[in-house]
Structure 1
Amino acid sequence: MGDIRVKLRRTAAVLFGAALAVVTFVTPVGAQSAQTGSSTTYQINARHDGNLVDAGVGAPPLSRKWSRDLGGDVSYPVVAGGRVFVTAASQDGYGTVLHALDADTGENVWEPVDLGGTYWWSALAYGGGRLYAQNPDGVLTAFHPATGAVLWTVTLPDQWSFTSPPTFLGGVVYTGGAGSGGTLYAVNAADGTVRWTRPVQNGDNSSPAVTANGVYVSYACSRTYAFEPASGGPVWDRRTDCSGGGGRTPVVADGGVWTRDGSGDAPSVLNVADGKVRGTYPANGWSPAPAFDGRQGYFVDDGVMQERHSRTLASRWTFQGDGRISTAPIVVNGYVYVGSLSGQLWALNGATGQPVWSTDVGAPINEPDEHNVSQPLTGLGAGGGLVVVPATNLLVAYGQ
């Protein structure tokens, strides 16, 4: 039988001014559905594929809704439940501060919370009606998102250096730690008890990418693991001929685990089922994570963005911008958003690469630093009708 492909259509009514428009989002069969309506961790969702469907975000151009100066480098946002959550580097020495903002106004929903910790790294996740914040000393805390009340807190055991953002899926928070070897953790989101741990090589800088069938982490020299989510049982382990410290957050998209490596190995896509290399693509291993919309992948390398087909890895278009593109891209309703060290934000037509809107955010949009702890991990986010941009000390929200 031939390769028959059909398309699923999701239709949403979107209000633009006084006119009611019907917007149809098209998803290829076989592709994983985009996250709907909220950003819950680094690169939007538990797969880290940067893809969001939100009927409240109309087609660009967008307008600035609000801007906040939070006094220190700002993390990627979690956008959920009518609120925007970020952390910012403390102005008073080590540590970071957790901010909860009203998505409509940018005003504080509850008073900022000092997360403490050594250095200036921290990271967030959301799910199960809770917000989760992790500091670099391995203190993981669950907050009530409406009030800021602490629901539980746990200091993760056995390690002392934490640089892997947490990921929530199915009632579990997954994260990693390093210091003496490395450890992958699965934490019960309801009460903070550690369900299971597994040893990994290094444990640095790799936010777990999680699906119903696997937990994927990737470290130096492309050492990549897959574990069973409920038990932590090993599924596969991809080894190479070198070893070292550090890691990069993997992306799960179109049946592949997309890995990057700062040691010099070419970025690779591995089969989800067995970890075998499906292909490699030309890019610097220090480049930010790619984003995907079905079988269209968007990759930033050396200040330029390029589209590639997720199976053939052939490229149809390249966007130069100002040559200083810095962020991991995200895709919202088929439009690709990406920012620059110059402070420029673009929205591109994902199919053609044509820019349809750009704006000056007002400060440099820093690249995600997946190697150091001198600032919170940063990145773009969206949800609740907004595209949210951390730009150095600023947090800026755009919408209709």
Structure 2
Amino acid sequence: MRLRRSIAAVFGAALSAVVFVTPVDAQPVRTGATTTYQINARHDGSLVDTAVGAPPLSQKWSRDLGGNVSYPVVAGGRVFATAASPDGYGTVLHAIDAATGEDAWAPVDLGGTYWWSALAYGGGRLYAQSDDGVLTAFNPATGAKIWTTTLTPQYSFTSPPTFAGGVVYTGGAGSGGTLYAVDAADGSVLWTQPVENGDNSSPAVTADGVYVSYACEQTYAFDPKSGDPIWRHRTDCSGGGGRTPVLADGGVWIRDAGMPSTVLGTTDGQVRGSYEASGRSPAPAFDGRQGYFVDEGVLQERHSRTLDTRWKFEGDGRISTAPIVVNGYVYVGSATGRLWALNGATGQSVWSTDVGAPINEPDEQNVSQPLTGLGAGGGLVVVPATHLLVAYGQ
């Protein structure tokens, strides 16, 4: 572990080039907000928002953002997303009024060497990270920059940031790997930890641990405040590719290309079970002990302890998204552009619609587009469909 003072001593001012622009009052994240990839800091895809009515829903607005669209962050009456720049490398940050679908403030060019970027929300701030490791905090109401930090020494960043407890956690790769904890108030680096690889794993966070999982089941748990290691799970495999872990029912649900997917205990990292999933299976979602998994274009429900499959939904056989659960309804999208809402208990389809464009699967390995996924909050279910961002509600 390297604390802030020793980091500065080793790497100097280049470690954390912080630029202060304007302050903002910190506000708590309320129920009914999508704050990062797969809804929340646990990445369990689950949201309770009484403002989102039971399906069927109707389209409220649709926006063409000019390039492949990221997962949305939905909070504070805004929908935030990034899109691949239509003019070359880099991405553009969009802030959209949730009620009208109009720009809440002017789009911001985030730059970047490629087309990857990702967002998080918390403490009254919006955080945007480029593939080059430039992490910027914005005032979500006005778009004003609060601070900008360039994370070093890594140079390749494909791990979406996660906000929890006043800290933004993210990972970087390029020369080995590094897990970063960044002060959400001022952008200073609180601590770092070396990890194997360091890419594609958005940190999953609770008050008790920060969990990341990289290629060949290199899974770690760290103390959120100090960065001290809690446990490490590893195998002797070679190759593969780690993915964002999910925290649910006392387990860390990890996926690795070419390996059986594994459930680890959150407290000790011991293997609790395994389940079949292909290397491209997106993150599962959970509602209590009901888990929802997409594999080979089919959605199925599994009990989180027995791992028994209780129902399957094939749709058109091309289900592509990671599922999310909103008020007990499971939402999934298809590469054909179809969106479904299912009864989470029975698997019965209660509503579907054509979004208007293919809904891409989340690419957790490359930087050719922003990481995509469904979002919800503020009375809306929000769907990135290739270049489109489409909102549904009552």
**Pair in the same fold by TM > 0.5:** yes
2:58 corresponds to which letter in structure 1? S
Q: Which residue of 2 aligns with 1:152?
A: 147
Q: Does 1:351 align with 2:345?
A: yes
Give 1:56 deviation, angstroms. Answer: 0.5
Give 1:283 deviation, angstroms. Answer: 1.2
Q: Which residue of 2 aligns with 1:397?
A: 391
Measure, in 2, the Cα distance between the counterparts of 1:246 and 1:275: 19
Equivalent of residue 370 in structure 1, options 338, 341, 364: 364
Aligned to 1:85, the other structure's residue is in SS state strand
Equivalent of residue 217 in structure 1, options 203, 212, 219: 212
Give 1:265 deviation, angstroms. Answer: 1.2
Q: Which residue of 1 aligns with 2:174?
A: 179
1:230 corresponds to which letter in structure 2? K
Aligned to 2:192, the other structure's residue is in SS state strand
Q: Does 1:249 align with 2:244?
A: yes
Measure, in 1, the Cα distance between the counterparts of 2:242 and 2:311: 29
Equivalent of residue 138 in structure 1, options 133, 138, 141: 133
Runs of 4+ residues over 3 Å off in structure 1: 243-246
Give 1:36 deviation, angstroms. Answer: 2.0
2:191 corresponds to which letter in structure 1? W
2:167 corresponds to which letter in structure 1? V
Contact 2:197 2:214 in 1 (8 A): yes
1:319 corresponds to which letter in structure 2? F
Q: Does 1:384 align with 2:375?
A: no
Q: Which residue of 2 aligns with 1:200?
A: 195
Give 1:50 deviation, angstroms. Answer: 0.2
Give 1:247 deviation, angstroms. Answer: 2.1
Contact 1:202 1:246 in 2 (8 A): no
Structure 2 counterparts to residues 1-400 of structure 1, below 5 A: 36-244=31-239, 246-262=241-257, 264-400=258-394
Aligned to 1:316, the other structure's residue is in SS state strand
Aligned to 2:216, the other structure's residue is in SS state helix
State the Cα deviation string for residues 322-364 of structure 1 (Å, max 9, x = none). 0000000000000000000000000000000000000000000
- Range with greater deviation from structure 2 (57-66 or 244-253): 244-253
Contact 1:208 1:217 in 2 (8 A): yes
1:307 corresponds to which letter in structure 2? E
TM-score (norm 1): 0.91
- Which residues of structure 2 form unaligned runs of 5+? 1-29
Measure, in 2, the Cα distance between the counterparts of 1:180 and 1:238: 21
Measure, in 1, the Cα distance between the counterparts of 2:344 and 2:283: 17
Measure, in 2, the Cα distance between the counterparts of 1:210 and 1:239: 20
TM-score (norm 2): 0.92
Measure, in 2, the Cα distance between the counterparts of 1:266 and 1:307: 18
Contact 2:240 2:256 in 1 (8 A): no
Contact 1:203 1:247 in 2 (8 A): no
Aligned to 1:365, the other structure's residue is in SS state coil
Give 1:243 deviation, angstroms. Answer: 4.0
State the Cα deviation string for residues 199-234 of structure 1 (Å, max 9, x = none). 000001000000000000001111100000000000
Measure, in 1, the Cα distance between the counterparts of 2:105 and 2:151: 26
State the Cα deviation string for residues 372-396 of structure 1 (Å, max 9, x = none). 1000000000000000000000000
Contact 2:251 2:265 in 1 (8 A): yes
Aligned to 1:164, the other structure's residue is in SS state coil
